């Protein structure tokens, strides 16, 4: 097995991995990144509904009452996200657990993250959508809220020169969306980082060595971990990376799965690995606009329709959004029929065609993202397959029912007709009971002040494993009520700054 | 046994399991015994599957060459069941109307499908999946990036729209009060 030595090995290339790679490479460390998914760039993207294309990059983790979606490709989810880039509101950082303890570690709040949000926003060219570019669906959503006296704000996006094609989630063919392979990753490479794709980390193993003196510089730090990897193409060759510092940035599912697979080698890991997953309790409802209401447009304009309402954040712990989606996503996500439709075959046949013909201009979908507690857990089988389990309790059922009722009331009080939506599971069967689906999963290896409460310190270092860090969404300890990418990136910038401060790579000894 | 084809073996297994409660029967077993013609005669199967798609989406153009393509697309998970599915439609149509499924009118075909959707769990799953596949393939236009679906006004990819077509004029009139200066809530 070939062995590669590096100062810092970073697993993953998404929002949690890109910032440490860039900052550590700029600081003089020899950085190697490995990515399980394929290399991808703007020219590889298509404006398509071809499931084969989407399944090349997108993955799902099914489960009980919750299902997760994420991407496996260079740049992680950044190639396929809606580019919504919002700072988490203060109330998200102030959430308490069932015992009344703050979920976020002491001293970590919005004010502490703001300098890193600034940095991340500059890197991704984040700005508020100009009023003149708000898509029709966003304006219709604003009108629905305005009619009821509710506030709405223009959202913020990581984009330059948006063409409004409506295909954000299949990858921006114009290179307008600020995916990480347009900024962080090439800058990291320019600073000396190396990136390998189609390479999966199988296990992380500590190397036996004398306990190091505290506060060694990076160059003085011994090689402390080996990571066994396997190529996902060709001969499926195995490689061994040996590193002084290892940073896990493979995402909430990927990082927890890797650590759980490595537990044999890392017996002191916290029992919280794979647990405490938060998911922004997403609830969706759909309706048809009443006659006389301006047209929406489900298919054109940026995928996220430009507007967010914080009106219910303090009172209900939710933000409310309009939602746009391509036919592929809508049809494969839910069986839809007009509420009260008498024909049994409402989700197919002529009634369904009539509904589908109204989808583009007359259908409005609302979603709420909520501060639901971090109650889900990953269950990883011996063959590495993960499922997510979300125990339902009365409070969560009540949250779902109340939130749905609120969203439906917004539609009904505007004169909309409701569209029944039976959301489908991975086998395209209607989900039974309450079910959440999200791409905003965080927290499987959460930060905590004590090992009894989490997996990593507030600096991202795994308890009892010096030099082993987690820097991705897995460390975020709570739901955020807004899209998670900017917070993951800002927190990764913060963790990267801490690692640089700790190891001072620029004062490293000459390479061996 | 050495001369037994895979197809015959599957049929044999299907007969052995015929006594099992159908609701508990795995799809792989249930679909192993059906007339060979639905695997051998692509035209026969295609005709039935096209009629099925036109029942699920009655306004779809009958001449659409891709209408039933997804059912037998080897890259999609339904293909192994396509032959059985077509045969099951034919069997149910024969039992109920004594007419091949593809020759029934829309209402009769819909009745056949409704009957299957009310049958055992495995059959429900098979028919539910087939309906979804027909809808996804047609409405999303999965076989041509640029084509979309004219019936629902979906243009597909690579159609550029000027800003005026994406938004409404005088957008300020839609907006209520905002709570933030820049979109970030503190």
* CATH of A1-45+66-125+178-274+444-512 given 2.40.50.180, 3.30.70.890, 3.40.190.10, 3.50.50.60: 3.50.50.60
Q: Is the pLDDT score of A38 beyond 50?
A: yes
The sign of the torsion formed by the CA atoms of A498, A499, A502, A508 equals negative
CB contact under 8 A, A165 and B160: yes
Per-residue model confidence (pLDDT) at position A417: 94
Element of type H or E holding A238: strand A238-248
Q: Beta strands A238-248 and A2-11: pairing type?
A: parallel
Give the pLDDT confidence of B103-140 residue by residue, as tens digits.
Answer: 999 999 999 999 999 999 999 999 999 999 999 999 99
The sign of the torsion formed by the CA atoms of A240, A241, A244, A250 equals negative
CB contact under 8 A, A142 and B58: no
Best to test chain B binding among A45, A46, A51 (most B CBs inside 10 Å): A51
Give the pLDDT confidence of A351-379 residue by residue, as tens digits.
Answer: 899 999 999 999 999 999 999 999 999 99
Q: Which of A70, A430, A354 is nearest to B132 (CA)?
A: A430
Q: Is A205 exposed, middle or buried (0-12, 13-18, 19+ CB in 10 A)?
A: middle
Instruction: Tell me which chain B residues have a C-beta less than 8 angstroms from the C-beta of A140.
Output: 174
Residue B119, C-beta contacts closer than 8 angstroms, at least 6 positions apart = none
CB contact under 8 A, A87 and B184: yes
Q: Is the pLDDT score of A510 beyond 50?
A: no
Instruction: Name the region of A366 (left: φ>0; alpha: ψ -120 to 50; beta: rest).
Output: beta
Find the CB nearest B183 among A140, A146, A153.
A153
To the nearest whole percent, how much of chain A has pLDDT over 90? 88
Taking CA–CA distances from A336, the nearest residue in chain B reads B132
Residue B38: band (very low, low, confident or very high) from pLDDT cuts 50, 70, 90 = confident
Residue A213: band (very low, low, confident or very high) from pLDDT cuts 50, 70, 90 = low
Give the pLDDT confidence of A121-141 residue by residue, as tens digits.
Answer: 999 999 999 999 999 999 999
Evaluate whether residue B4 is within a structural domain: no
To the nearest whole percent, how much of chain B has pLDDT over 90? 75
Taking CA–CA distances from A113, the nearest residue in chain B reads B186
Give chain B's mean pLDDT: 85
Instruction: Tell me which chain B residues have a C-beta less than 8 angstroms from the C-beta of A424.
Output: 132
Evaluate whether residue B170 is within a structural domain: yes
Find the CB nearest A133 among B56, B125, B167.
B167
For residue A267, give both structure tokens: 């017996």
**Alpha-carbon gap, residue B46 to B86, rounded angstroms:** 8
Evaluate whether residue B82 is within a structural domain: yes
* Domain range summary for chain A, segments of one domain joined by +: 1-45+66-125+178-274+444-512, 128-167+282-371+391-435
Per-residue model confidence (pLDDT) at position A208: 80
* CATH of A128-167+282-371+391-435 given 3.30.410, 3.40.50, 2.60.120, 3.30.70: 3.30.410
Per-residue model confidence (pLDDT) at position A179: 98
CB contact under 8 A, B154 and A52: no
Give the pLDDT confidence of A380-391 residue by residue, as tens digits.
Answer: 888 878 999 999
Would you state the torsion angle of the CA atoms of residues B152, A159, A61, A310, taken in this order, to the nearest 10 degrees?
A: -90
Q: Is the pLDDT score of B24 beyond 90?
A: no
Q: Is the pLDDT score of A433 beyond 90?
A: no
To the nearest whole percent, how much of chain A has pLDDT over 70? 96
Q: Is the pLDDT score of A430 beyond 90?
A: no
Evaluate whether residue B184 is within a structural domain: no
Per-residue model confidence (pLDDT) at position B23: 35
Q: Is the pLDDT score of B14 beyond 80?
A: no
Give the pLDDT confidence of A97-116 residue by residue, as tens digits.
Answer: 999 999 999 999 999 999 99
Q: Are A395 and A68 in contact (CB under 8 A)?
A: no
Residues in chain A: 512
Residue A58: band (very low, low, confident or very high) from pLDDT cuts 50, 70, 90 = very high
Range of the domain at B90: 34-174
**Alpha-carbon gap, residue A511 to B133, rounded angstroms:** 57
R_g of chain B computed on alpha carbons: 23
Residue A169, C-beta contacts closer than 8 angstroms, at least 6 positions apart = A80, A81, A82, A303, A326, A329
CA atoms within 13 A on the CB side of A88: 35
For residue A502, give both structure tokens: 């700790």
CB contact under 8 A, A357 and B151: yes
Give the pLDDT confidence of B69-101 residue by residue, as tens digits.
Answer: 999 999 998 999 999 999 999 999 999 999 999
Evaluate whether residue B39 is within a structural domain: yes
Angle, in degrees to the nearest 10, between helices B106-117 and B42-56: 90
How many domains is chain B partitioned into structurally? 1
Q: Is the pLDDT score of B59 beyond 70?
A: yes
Find the CB nearest A153 among B132, B172, B180.
B180
Q: Which of A175, A180, A146, A147 is nearest to A162 (CA)?
A: A175
Alpha carbon of B144: minimum distance to chain A alpha carbons (Å): 8
Best to test chain B binding among A92, A313, A356 (most B CBs inside 10 Å): A356
SS3 A330: helix
Give the pLDDT confidence of A462-497 residue by residue, as tens digits.
Answer: 999 999 999 999 999 999 999 999 999 999 999 999
Per-residue model confidence (pLDDT) at position A296: 98
Instruction: Tell me which chain B residues have a C-beta less than 8 angstroms from the C-beta of A52.
Output: 75
Evaluate whether residue B179 is within a structural domain: no
Taking CA–CA distances from B74, the nearest residue in chain A reads A52
Give chain A's mean pLDDT: 94
- Among A182-196, A301-315, A415-429, name the one with the lowest average pLDDT: A415-429
Per-residue model confidence (pLDDT) at position A216: 86
């Amino acid at each position: 097995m070939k062995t590669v030595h590096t100062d810092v090995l970073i697993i993953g290339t998404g929002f949690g991995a890109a910032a440490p790679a860039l900052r550590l490479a700029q600081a003089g460390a020899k950085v190697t990144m490995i990515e399980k998914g394929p290399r991808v760039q703007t020219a590889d993207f298509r404006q398509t509904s071809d499931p084969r294309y989407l399944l090349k990059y997108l993955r799902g983790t099914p489960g009980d009452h919750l299902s997760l979606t994420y991407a496996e490709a260079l740049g992680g989810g950044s190639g396929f996200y809606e580019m919504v880039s919002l700072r988490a509101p203060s109330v998200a950082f102030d959430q308490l657990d069932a015992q009344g303890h703050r979920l976020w570690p002491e001293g970590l709040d919005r004010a502490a993250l703001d300098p890193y949000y600034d940095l991340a926003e500059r890197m991704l060219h984040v700005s508020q959508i100009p009023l003149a570019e708000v898509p029709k669906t966003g304006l219709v959503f604003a009108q629905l809220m305005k009619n009821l006296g509710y506030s709405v704000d223009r959202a913020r996006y990581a984009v330059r020169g948006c063409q409004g094609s409506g295909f954000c989630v299949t990858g921006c063919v114009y290179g307008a969306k600020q995916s990480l392979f347009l900024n962080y990753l090439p800058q990291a490479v320019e600073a000396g980082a190396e990136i390998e794709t189609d390479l999966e980390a199988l296990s992380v193993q500590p190397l036996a060595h004398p306990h190091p003196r505290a506060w060694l510089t990076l160059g003085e730090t011994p090689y402390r971990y080996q990571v066994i990897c396997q190529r996902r193409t060709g001969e499926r060759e195995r490689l061994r990376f040996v590193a002084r510092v290892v940073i896990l940035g493979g995402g909430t599912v990927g990082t927890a799965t890797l650590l759980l697979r490595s537990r044999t080698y890392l017996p002191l890991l916290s029992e919280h690995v794979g647990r405490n997953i938060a998911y922004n309790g997403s609830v969706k409802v759909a309706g048809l606009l009443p006659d006389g209401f301006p047209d929406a447009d489900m298919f054109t304009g940026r995928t996220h329709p430009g507007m967010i309402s914080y009106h219910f954040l303090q009172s209900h712990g939710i933000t409310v959004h309009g939602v746009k989606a391509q036919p592929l996503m809508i049809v494969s996500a839910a069986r839809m029929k007009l509420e009260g439709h008498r024909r049994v075959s409402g989700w197919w046949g002529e009634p369904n065609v009539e509904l589908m013909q109204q989808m583009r201009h007359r259908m409005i979908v609302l979603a709420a993202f909520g501060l639901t507690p971090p109650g889900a857990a990953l269950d990883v089988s011996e063959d590495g397959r993960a499922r997510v389990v979300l125990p339902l309790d009365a409070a969560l059922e009540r949250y779902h029912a109340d939130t749905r009722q609120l969203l439906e009331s917004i539609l009904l009080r505007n004169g909309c007709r409701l569209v029944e939506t039976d959301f489908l599971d991975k086998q395209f069967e209607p989900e039974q009971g309450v079910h959440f689906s999200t791409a905003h999963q965080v927290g499987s290896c959460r930060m905590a002040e004590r090992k009894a409460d989490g997996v990593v310190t507030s600096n991202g270092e795994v308890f009892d494993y010096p030099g082993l860090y987690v820097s991705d969404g897995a460390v975020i300890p709570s739901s955020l009520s807004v899209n998670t990418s900017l917070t993951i990136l800002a927190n990764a910038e913060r963790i990267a700054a801490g690692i640089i401060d700790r190891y001072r790579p620029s004062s490293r000894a000459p390479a061996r | 046994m050495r001369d037994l084809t895979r197809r015959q073996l599957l049929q044999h297994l299907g007969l052995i399991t015929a006594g099992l409660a159908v609701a508990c029967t795995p799809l792989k077993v249930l679909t192993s015994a059906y007339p060979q013609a639905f695997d051998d005669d692509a035209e026969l199967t295609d005709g039935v599957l096209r009629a099925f798609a036109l029942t699920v989406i009655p306004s779809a153009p009958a001449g659409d060459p891709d209408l039933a393509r997804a059912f037998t697309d080897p890259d999609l998970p339904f293909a192994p069941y396509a032959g059985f599915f077509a045969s099951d439609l034919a069997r149910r149509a024969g039992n109920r109307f004594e007419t091949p499924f593809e020759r029934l009118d829309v209402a009769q075909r819909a009745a056949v499908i409704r009957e299957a959707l009310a049958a055992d769990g495995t059959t429900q799953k098979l028919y539910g999946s087939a309906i979804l596949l027909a809808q996804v393939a047609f409405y999303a236009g999965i076989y041509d990036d640029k084509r979309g679906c004219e019936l629902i006004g979906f243009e597909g990819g690579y159609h550029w729209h000027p800003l005026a077509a994406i938004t409404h004029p005088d957008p300020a009139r839609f907006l209520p009060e905002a709570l933030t200066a820049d979109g970030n809530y503190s």
